[in-house]
Structure 1
């Protein structure tokens, strides 16, 4: 089974999981995951509910650390740095590896203060007005909000709120943006705007997206990793990686029958 497709060697790998197992207490959520995330590409994680896609995403910026009973073995590398090494500061990890959640979650603050929040936290010394404007422009929101920066972020539509959350994530100038089903709460038009935005952002950032939407994965990503769940002997369920390759291969000529069934909707 080839989980490492040949393109990994030609591109820079920014994140790498090696034999990663994730446990919550005695429950093993992910089993032996190895995959490389390539720089300036959009990598989609797909698979049925409960296969550990979001768990893996949260391993990449150490958000799982906040969950009781979490432990991981194996390795997660960011560039060549082991993210779980004792000297690594999880807060710094989360600055470099930003996160956009499933439901838009702007802070109950002004649009301006939402974007400026992270930079202020990390002691940004540059021109804040300029940074806020640039971040909102990158998130394709500036034109809609430039005259109401002092109004609450919560007054925006769902699609605008999600773009505000993307602006907030990029304001701290991360390297990678993780997106956990960023469009699942949005209407089709807002969803396409987020997908277009991802294409622009990948010029500067590496993006990893969890999605349940097959069309979205096939339209928006460069590479796709398909995960599945299997029962173990104790009746628990663990997620594992079935296949990982260029998106067009996963959707048109996957190696595994089960991948073919999943992407064509005949699964489960």
Structure 2
């Protein structure tokens, strides 16, 4: 499967969904998601709380599989391969499609061992020192910590911890990096550093980011999907995509009134 996924990387569209519906038991959490995610771009998911942004994001590396009641219908393709086909190994999916979470979560290990953990687990045979250094440089952290690689990752500042988590994701040489509110726990200076880092990383990786920060989405992303939420007669809330376009269109001349209302701060 790994070779099949690797051989398909040349396509310009990395992910494509067709009428994707996401359920938890009988509850329809997100409906009718049809979207294409381009290669080497930053795509932002924005929208009010409960609209399904993170739920959709976690479908792209099959993290929702860990929830017993989760199931979906419709299609989700990764380089034109059905990501939920029976023969697809979710573990391999998560190696090629990395994840950075909302709260920095370095392991209680040294900085070096945080970055080396994934490659060791996968049986990496190359020069580990070189890989760790390269990953930390790509995460714009090397100059800060190159003399204290044996220090605990948990002793770093919040912004440094998040960049360490990005380095850890990069170290297994993924194709895609998913980021779920990666800056929500960071101060403004650290947030801008991460945003600057994203612009460098997109030269090598495709990036999807969920954010509540409108300024961040407008500054950092190339394309933006605006999600909204609707309630049925039972009060159950289902998310859906209202509009998906180039970021400047979404923020400057959206086609839908709901999008205009959200990005201008009138609701959400």
TM-score range, shorter chain: over 0.9
For 1:72, the equivalent position in structure 2 comes to 72
Q: Distance in 1 between matches of 2:130 and 2:250?
A: 41
For 1:86, the equivalent position in structure 2 comes to 86
Q: Deviations over 1:59-114 (max 9, x none)?
A: 00000000120001111111011010000000000000000000000000000000
Q: Deviations over 1:167-188 (max 9, x none)?
A: 0000000000000000000000
Map 1:31-42 onto structure 2 (within 5 A).
31-42=31-42
Aligned length: 258
Query: Are 2:263 and 1:263 equivalent residues in the alignment?
Result: yes
**Alpha-carbon distance, 1:125 to partner:** 0.7
**Alpha-carbon distance, 1:16 to partner:** 1.1
For 1:24, the equivalent position in structure 2 comes to 24
**Alpha-carbon distance, 1:233 to partner:** 3.3
Query: Are 2:163 and 1:163 equivalent residues in the alignment?
Result: yes
Query: Are 2:62 and 1:62 equivalent residues in the alignment?
Result: yes
Query: Are 2:247 and 1:243 equivalent residues in the alignment?
Result: no
**Alpha-carbon distance, 1:234 to partner:** 3.1
For 1:108, the equivalent position in structure 2 comes to 108
Q: Distance in 1 between matches of 2:233 and 2:172?
A: 45
**Alpha-carbon distance, 1:232 to partner:** 1.9
Q: Distance in 2 between matches of 1:235 and 1:135?
A: 46
For 2:128, the equivalent position in structure 1 comes to 128
The secondary structure found in structure 1 opposite 2:255 is coil
Query: Are 2:180 and 1:180 equivalent residues in the alignment?
Result: yes
The secondary structure found in structure 2 opposite 1:164 is helix
Structure 1, unaligned runs of 5 or more: 1-10
Q: Deviations over 1:158-212 (max 9, x none)?
A: 0000000000000000000000000000000000000000000000000000000
Structure 2, unaligned runs of 5 or more: 1-10
For 2:99, the equivalent position in structure 1 comes to 99
Q: Distance in 2 between matches of 1:195 and 1:185?
A: 14
4+ residue segments displaced more than 6 Å? none
Q: Distance in 1 between matches of 2:225 and 2:193?
A: 23
**Alpha-carbon distance, 1:261 to partner:** 0.3
Q: Deviations over 1:33-75 (max 9, x none)?
A: 0100000000000000000000000000000000120001111
Q: Distance in 2 between matches of 1:148 and 1:12?
A: 40
Q: Deviations over 1:107-128 (max 9, x none)?
A: 0000000000010111111100
**Alpha-carbon distance, 1:136 to partner:** 0.1
* TM-score normalised by length of structure 2: 0.95
Q: Distance in 2 between matches of 1:243 and 1:12?
A: 21
For 1:7, the equivalent position in structure 2 comes to none
Q: Distance in 1 between matches of 2:66 and 2:233?
A: 29
Q: Deviations over 1:200-232 (max 9, x none)?
A: 000000000000000000000000000000012
The secondary structure found in structure 1 opposite 2:113 is helix
**Alpha-carbon distance, 1:235 to partner:** 2.3
RMSD: 0.8
